[in-house]
Amino acid sequence: MPDSWVKKLFRKNVEALEPYKPILPFEVLAENLGRRPEEIVKLDANENPYGPSPKVLEALASYPYYHIYPDPQQKRLRKALSGYVSVPADNLLVGSGADELIDLLVRLFVEPGEYVVNFPPTFGMYEFDAEIGGGRVLSIPRRNDFSLDVDAAVQEITRLSPPPKLLFVTSPNNPDGGVLPPDELERLIELPIVVVVDEAYNEFSGAPSFAPKVLERENLVVLRTFSKWAGLAGLRLGYGVFPQAMLDGLWKIKQPYNVNVAATVAGLAALEDMPYYRKTIDAIISERERLYRELQEVPYLRPFPSKANFVLCRVVGRDAYGLKKALEEEGIIVRHYHKPGLENMIRISVGRPEQNEIVLERLKQLV
């Protein structure tokens, strides 16, 4: 097809972006394999295999006001969250997933051509949003064991002129599941840069959240989400703990109706049903440990210890993509990687015990 003249009107940085590579939706994979969607063992996106609690589903079904626009300030949800993360509601802002808040932070701070600091391998949205926002990415690669090279970060950040304004660090990190030691965060927040700690997987880690620390610092943000522990990935609900000065800017640029009513209803009901969620979170943690132990017994896999709801594995002596495809033929979906720092790897999200059993059995048979 000839290139349309309209494309020439795109912003310059859009032209340089890689086209989006859509994943195969699991319903389509099920159809291709002649199976029912519920027979697919979907362990590729760190979703919660238990889904939302029954009380959340009831609250969604009985809510009578879907025809009314949402509260732009999300007052009830922020009040409930304030109890959950032990910070004042005034320091909270809710988003359509943590993803939206990453985008808002880039929009608030990054001018075209300015740098955002990133620690790859990690979650892809920091780089994605920085580039869409017209920024550039300063990558400080993690070491082979996925720990941060804080000395390199300090050196690079202080060397750049103009200095970068925004830094993203993930704890537990996706895709390896390692947590950020508090002393390393201390060193990062001493720098004249806004440090965003993405704690999407905090509930599975047993590590204390850095959220209360936001109240002591002008340059620290903590992002959290309902996608993982609460099983609400499809409804898109995340939030951040921000210092007051930053909120003055964020409230100005946030779309008023950024969070839909169903997500709010579900989030509130989830926070009221913590005994249920405590059980499913504990089940995921104990299955993660079992998965890690048993993956160590698969001769061609080298799993990394994880504090999240997934286990990353180096594949040795065979092709990780071929392995992913072989599992896919059996209706098992895992995430495959082959890029710097993640050569020949797969990541397996923690499923229900019976799903983990299926993937483990298949991996052991594939020797």
Ligand X SMILES: Cc1ncc(COP(=O)(O)O)c(C=O)c1O
Interface with ligand X by CB under 6 A: which residues? Answer: 46, 97-99, 123, 170, 174, 198, 200, 225, 227, 233, 238
For residues 226 and 36, what is the distance between their CA atoms, to the nearest angstrom?
A: 27
Considering the complex, state which of residue 98 and residue 358 has its C-beta at the smaller distance from ligand X.
98
Considering the complex, state which of residue 121 and residue 164 has its C-beta at the smaller distance from ligand X.
121
Q: How far is the CB of 225 from ligand X (least distance, A)?
A: 3
210 CB-side CA count, 13 A: 31
Nearest residue (beta carbon) to ligand X? 97
Q: How far is the CB of 200 from ligand X (least distance, A)?
A: 4
Q: How far is the CB of 15 from ligand X (least distance, A)?
A: 26
Considering the complex, state which of residue 115 and residue 201 has its C-beta at the smaller distance from ligand X.
201
Q: How far is the CB of 297 from ligand X (least distance, A)?
A: 27
Considering the complex, state which of residue 236 and residue 324 has its C-beta at the smaller distance from ligand X.
236
Amino acid at 39: E
The two most distant CA atoms of the chain are separated, in Å, by 58
Considering the complex, state which of residue 270 and residue 294 has its C-beta at the smaller distance from ligand X.
270
Q: State phi, psi for 118 to the nearest 5 degrees.
A: -135, 150
Considering the complex, state which of residue 52 and residue 294 has its C-beta at the smaller distance from ligand X.
52
Considering the complex, state which of residue 229 and residue 292 has its C-beta at the smaller distance from ligand X.
229
Q: How far is the CB of 91 from ligand X (least distance, A)?
A: 18
Q: State phi, psi for 361 to the nearest 5 degrees.
A: -60, -45
For residues 44 and 94, what is the distance between their CA atoms, to the nearest angstrom?
A: 26
Q: Are 319 and 192 in contact (CB under 8 A)?
A: no
Q: How far is the CB of 122 from ligand X (least distance, A)?
A: 7
Q: How far is CA 321 from the centre of its chain?
A: 23
Runs of H (alpha helix) within the chain = 12-15, 26-33, 54-62, 75-85, 98-109, 125-132, 150-159, 182-189, 244-253, 261-271, 274-295, 320-329, 353-365
The secondary structure of 133-180, three-state, reads CCCEEEECCCCCCCCCCHHHHHHHHHHCCCCCCEEEEECCCCCCCCCC
Q: Which of 155, 245, 146, 147 is nearest to 138 (CA)?
A: 155
Q: How far is the CB of 236 from ligand X (least distance, A)?
A: 6
Considering the complex, state which of residue 277 and residue 294 has its C-beta at the smaller distance from ligand X.
277
Q: How far is the CB of 333 from ligand X (least distance, A)?
A: 15
Q: Are 104 and 221 in contact (CB under 8 A)?
A: no
For residues 221 and 85, what is the distance between their CA atoms, to the nearest angstrom?
A: 13
